[in-house]
Structures are given as C-alpha cells and as structure tokens.
Chains A and B, each alone.
Chain A
Amino acid sequence: MMKVRNSHVMFAALVLLAVLPASYAATNCTLGSYEKNNVCVTDYLVNSANIALLISFLLVGVVYALAKAFEDARFSNWAQTHLYQTIGTAVILLIYLSASVFLNQALGPAFCSGSIVYPNLGAPPGGARGCSDWTSTQVYVKTYLEDKRTYAVNSARSILALSDCAGMVTSLSVGLNVDVLSYYWSPFGALGSLSNALGMMLTMIAAAVVFLQVQIAVIGMYPGLFGVLLPLGIVLRTFPFTRRAGGAMIAIAIGFTIILPLSYMIVKDIDDKYWNDNCSGIEGISSCWMTAQDTGSIMLDPLLNPLSSNLPTKVINKLKDLFQPGGKYACVAFRMGIAGIILPMLAYVITLHITRGIAELLGADIDLSALVKIL
C-alpha cells in the first residue's frame, strides 16, 4: 500500500514538474523566455527557478535512494519531507497560476460590468469603463484607482478655489480715512472658521492622494511580483536555510497578485453602490464666481444688504447644505475618507492575513506587523 502511494506521488510530482515550466511560457515564445519589444528574450530568473526545483528534486531522490540502500531512517525521513515540500511548492504554484488565469480571464470580466457584492447593481455610473477592452484584473484595478486619484485631484482643486474665495473675503479690510482719522473694519472676518474646515478637508484629500499613489504603485508592481519575487522565492525555497524565506516570498507574491485585486473589486462595488445611492458629484464648482452663484450671493450679501444681512445664519445653512449626507462635500469626504483610505486599508489587512496563512501552508511564519504598520 505504501509502495503504491509513493509511486503515485512520484508520478504526480513528475507530471507537475513537467507542466510547471510550461506555465511560464509566453504566448509567442518558447519555454523559459518572454517577449520584449517583439523579440523573445531568455528569462534567466524563471529558468533558474525551474532548474532549482528540478535539481532539488533530483538531489532529494538521490539522498532518498542512498538512505533506503543503507537503511537509514533519518535521511529517508528527511528526503521524504523535502520531497513532499517540493511537490507542495509545485502544487501551490500550479493552483496559483490557475487562479491567476481564472481571475484575469473569467471572474474579472464576468463581474466587470456588474457587482460581486450587489448583484442587482448593474453597470457603474458612467458606464462599465475598461470592460470592453478588458486585459487583466490588475489593469482594471489600476484604472479604478487612477480614476479615484483624478477625482481626488479635482476635488482638491475645487476646494482650493472655494478656500481661495473664502480667504480673499475673510482677509478683506475696509479702510476709511477722514483727514487724520482712520477706521479699519473686517466685515467678513467670521468666515475664518470656514477656511479651517476647508483646510481639514484638504489635509484629508492630501492623505488620500498620497495613499492612492502608493496603491497605484503597488498594483503596478504586478510584473515585478510575478517575474521576480515568485521565481526568487522558488529558488530560495529549495535550500534548507532559506526555505522559510522563500515560502514567505511566494506567499507575498500570491497575496498581492490574487487576493489584493479581488479585494479591490469588492471595494469598488461598495464605492459604486454608495455613489449610485447618494452622490451627484461636485462638478460645477470650479471657480470662485461659480461658487458665488452657487451659494446664492452669500459672499456679496453684506455689501448688497448692509442693514439686513444675516451672514452667519446663511453661512451655516450653506455649510449644512454642502456637508450633510448627500451634500457635495459629503460625497468627497466619503470617497476620500472611506473609499479612498479606510476600505483599501481593510483590503490590505485582509490580503496580509491571507498571505500569512499561505505562508504558514508553505512552512513559513511571517511577521507582517511591520508592513501593516507602514501601510
């Protein structure tokens, strides 16, 4: 029984190790090479990973054979353990490559124009951008993040314009000189608190822009994770001293190329749902004069009606209008604060926890607390 199981395992291992190099092949190039500027270039790193796996398998086989010949249980067990770990690496890699293909070619396009979290949601506002020319989940997520960054940048410009108007009016001082007498008066000094509120919003948007840029850069690292970290992890995993480190690298590559894009698709769904239900955007506020029109001449009211102006009440009412749920700046606050910072943070925490689980499966216990703190 034991002999039958071992031979089945051996056969499976040989099949897997034969299939594994094929999975690295580019569309038009031979095994172990990739296309660069329409020319097939040898990928030494991927080839080294495959060779390291095969050599490791060969050496373990030799040790196992010798241990059996000399009836040494210790080396026999060591060789078996190492063999199962090598096979485990190959199996996990095969599952990873299959999952990657499934995510990019099947799951991603299927939910591109719909929703994972809210199946009845339908197409996102503005159409299903990026679905007709679908390439990969990574490109889709990168496009979504870049759209959010553009939204953040436009929001910052609009709030800066409003802040500029408020600042100009707040700092305005009217001077009256009659012979030797002078009188200076700041009619709109009370609007200073509006500037503080807008400053806080700009600080939040600044943090969102930086974090979005980091997220875009992390998603953009996909070729590096797949083409460098993964093969390097395989090479390191074949040596005893670096086995756990190699497992950690493989786990990180899997987590950031499969789990993270999937988490982002869920974040996008929640973002789109809120947008559908509550927001109409802040388009329209692009200059100070439009702001004045939009606020119904609040800024000019004391000049037009100096005796009956009720500026503080009108400002408070306008602030309520802008910042209440569904108000223009409430939408900005949601998209930047919740959808731009908190939900992606949650996606990263989930990704890192799953990465840690995968690493434990590969025999490595990573302490990712430092990475979580940095993010």
Chain B
Amino acid sequence: MARIEEVVKSLPALFKPEKAKGWNRVILLDLQGEEPSKWTLTINDGACAVSEGQASEPKLTISGNSEYICQMFTGETPPMKLVNAKLLRMKGPMMDAIAFSGLWNIPKKA
C-alpha cells in the first residue's frame, strides 16, 4: 500500500469525535509531490470517513505535497509548522483551518 494511502486511511482511527461536535465538513486533500492524489474526508455527526478522489464540493481544501501530509499525521512535523512554512496550504473558512489540527490524535514524536 502506498504511504499516503496508508496514512490517509488511518485517519478515522486518529479522529477525535468529541472534538468535532457540531462540526460537519467535507475536506479535500489535493496532493502533489511524491504521491499525487486526491482524498476526501467527510466529517459528519462525530464520524470521519475517507474516500479516494474528490467526492463532493469541499468546504476546506488542503493542498501540498503528500509527504507533508504524512509528516503531519505521523507526528514528524507539527501541523502549524507546515502551515506557517506554507508547505501545506489551507483554502476555506479561516476557523475551519484553525479547527482542523485539533481533530486528530496525532502521535507525539519523542
């Protein structure tokens, strides 16, 4: 399995439903770099589902290289560091972009 697929498909297990109360969103990962691909995250009623491709009109689009998404969700690089360095771009409502990083149990690297 490709690395990005493995990471993205692990997101429902990392998802913290208690952080997403009242926060239902469709989020598109529009990725370039080592593994160009598109993934749709659907957060609805406290559940997170992942599908490959662009399923519907996203509220928030996260774009950048696939390796940075891998770094973010494996805890290798803090999300805000990637965003501040503009290695990942977030297009959509500002508060959705702020909220996004708080929805996941991202492993902490020692």
Q: Do A and B come from one complex?
A: no
A residues contacting B by CB (< 8 A) are none
